[in-house]
């Protein structure tokens, strides 16, 4: 994992902590509420209204609570009084939307009550009952849900953590706006909300264009994590063959983690045991698929499922397994973790390579459709 990314990630947390001590009202460092700061601003200072969720898929019998907040010319988030309207169905003064009987794509609009800008959310209403919300065939029986998220919130441009609605996820790093929310009619689960990560031409390796993170305050020592993910076609690999996707963090140092990447020849999903603080026999090793290698088809959606379990005592008996499109690819049972209480966060931080100076000569993308976290 590149030092630049690890350092920027930790510095972002330090900045956030300091800011909270300076002003507890600043929601950029809030984890329990959306990023709305301070008192309501005069409409003349508001330049943008944002609606959350920004895109969603509903059945005709489902309702959805929408929320709105404003951005000032200075880039601050603030509360604002709005009037709600919808092109079909009904919406209450508080933002509770109920679809009509007809399927289709509609708009929900929040307009500043005293005049000024408005914000829009896209609502796709199905023609009948929705299918089950994703299929996670390798989630252990009896696990309890931590989060089931369809990326239905705007990904803000930020250098500090900003909560993504009430999902438990937060935008950790998106300084250049390369992470965005889009709709994708071909998405396998949440077609109304897909997290798009853009690698622009000229992007230098060693960092991620955008990062979203889910802190784990309950500190599980056993975790299941599933996601629907798609790489663009074509996709230019870093010269190192490392094109990172997802990270599982422990609290024992900047390098004590496990990450997963896309690697070519053939395109496949690998794991990296960066649990250096634990010091087990697998630490520092690239864990290749050792059961089956599912070849990744560029430009198509793939379901990745991960299971991890902490080691016990001084033993190197930690477990790592991952499945691609329902097929077990890798299983390792010799991981060793510091006995530090459990995993403290997961993140989608698609870092391009290491720090070898490789540069993108084309514009590439990762897309994330839906993700699920659970624990015993």
pLDDT in tens, the chain (376 residues): 343 444 344 334 433 333 333 333 333 333 333 333 334 445 557 888 888 776 677 878 889 999 888 888 877 778 889 999 999 999 999 999 999 988 888 999 999 888 778 998 878 787 766 545 468 999 999 999 999 999 999 999 999 999 999 999 999 999 999 999 998 888 888 867 899 999 999 999 999 999 999 999 999 999 999 999 999 999 999 999 999 999 999 999 776 899 999 999 999 999 999 999 999 999 999 999 999 999 899 998 999 999 999 999 999 999 999 999 888 999 999 999 999 999 999 999 999 998 789 999 999 999 999 999 999 9
Indicate the pTM of the whole model. 0.69
In the chain, CATH 2.60.40.10 covers: 34-125
Give me the pLDDT at residue 15, please: 39
In the chain, CATH 2.60.120.200 covers: 3-13+132-375
| Nearest partner of 51 among 149, 123, 150, 159, judged by Cα | 123
CB 159 within 8 A of CB 28: no
Give me the pLDDT at residue 371, please: 96
Q: Mind spelling out the 3-state secondary structure of 310-366? A: CCCCCCCCEEEEEEECCEEEEEEEEECCCCCCCCCEEEECCCECCCCCCECCCCEEE
Topology of domain 3-13+132-375 in CATH is Jelly Rolls (2.60.120)
Give me the pLDDT at residue 125, please: 83
Give me the pLDDT at residue 13, please: 43
Look up residue 204 and give its DSSP letter: B
| CATH number assigned to the domain with residue range 34-125, chosen from the 4 options 3.40.350.10, 2.60.120.260, 2.60.40.10, 3.30.870.10 | 2.60.40.10
Q: Mind spelling out the 3-state secondary structure of 63-79? A: CEECEEEEEECCCCEEC
Q: What span, in angstroms and rounded, lies between the C-alpha atoms of 231 and 246?
A: 13
Look up residue 281 and give its DSSP letter: T
């Amino acid at each position: 994992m590149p030092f630049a990314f690890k350092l920027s990630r930790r510095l972002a947390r330090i900045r956030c902590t300091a800011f909270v001590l300076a002003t507890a009202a600043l929601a950029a460092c809030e984890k329990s509420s959306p990023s709305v700061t301070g008192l309501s601003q005069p409409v003349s200072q508001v330049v943008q209204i944002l609606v959350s969720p920004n895109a969603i898929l509903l059945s005709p019998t489902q309702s959805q609570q929408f929320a709105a907040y404003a951005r000032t010319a200075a880039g601050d988030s603030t509360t604002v009084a709005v009037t709600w309207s919808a092109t079909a169905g009904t919406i209450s003064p508080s933002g509770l939307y109920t679809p009509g009987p007809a399927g289709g794509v509609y708009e929900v609009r929040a307009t500043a009550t005293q005049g000024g800008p408005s914000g829009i959310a896209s609502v796709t209403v199905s023609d009948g009952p929705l299918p089950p919300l994703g299929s996670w065939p390798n989630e252990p029986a009896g696990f309890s849900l931590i989060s089931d998220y369809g990326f239905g919130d705007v990904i803000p441009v930020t250098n500090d953590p900003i909560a993504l609605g009430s999902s438990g996820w937060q935008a950790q790093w998106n300084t250049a706006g390369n992470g965005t929310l889009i709709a994708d009619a071909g998405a396998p689960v949440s077609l109304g909300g897909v997290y798009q990560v853009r690698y622009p031409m000229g992007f230098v390796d060693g960092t991620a264009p955008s990062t979203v993170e889910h802190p784990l305050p309950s500190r599980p020592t056993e975790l299941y994590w599933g996601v629907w993910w798609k790489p663009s076609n074509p996709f230019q690999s870093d010269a190192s063959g490392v094109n990172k996707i997802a990270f599982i963090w422990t609290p024992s140092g900047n390098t004590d983690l496990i990450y997963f990447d896309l690697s070519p020849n053939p395109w496949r999903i690998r794991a990296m045991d960066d649990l250096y603080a634990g010091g087990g026999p697998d630490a520092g090793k690239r864990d290749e698929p050792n059961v089956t290698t599912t070849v990744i088809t560029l430009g198509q959606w793939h379901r990745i499922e991960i299971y991890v379990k902490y080691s016990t005592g001084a033993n190197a008996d930690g477990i790592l397994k991952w499945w691609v499109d329902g097929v077990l690819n890798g299983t390792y049972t010799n991981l060793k973790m510091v006995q530090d209480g459990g995993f403290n966060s997961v993140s989608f931080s698609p870092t391009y390579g290491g720090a070898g100076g490789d540069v993108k000569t084309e514009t590439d993308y990762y897309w994330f459709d839906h993700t699920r976290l659970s624990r015993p």
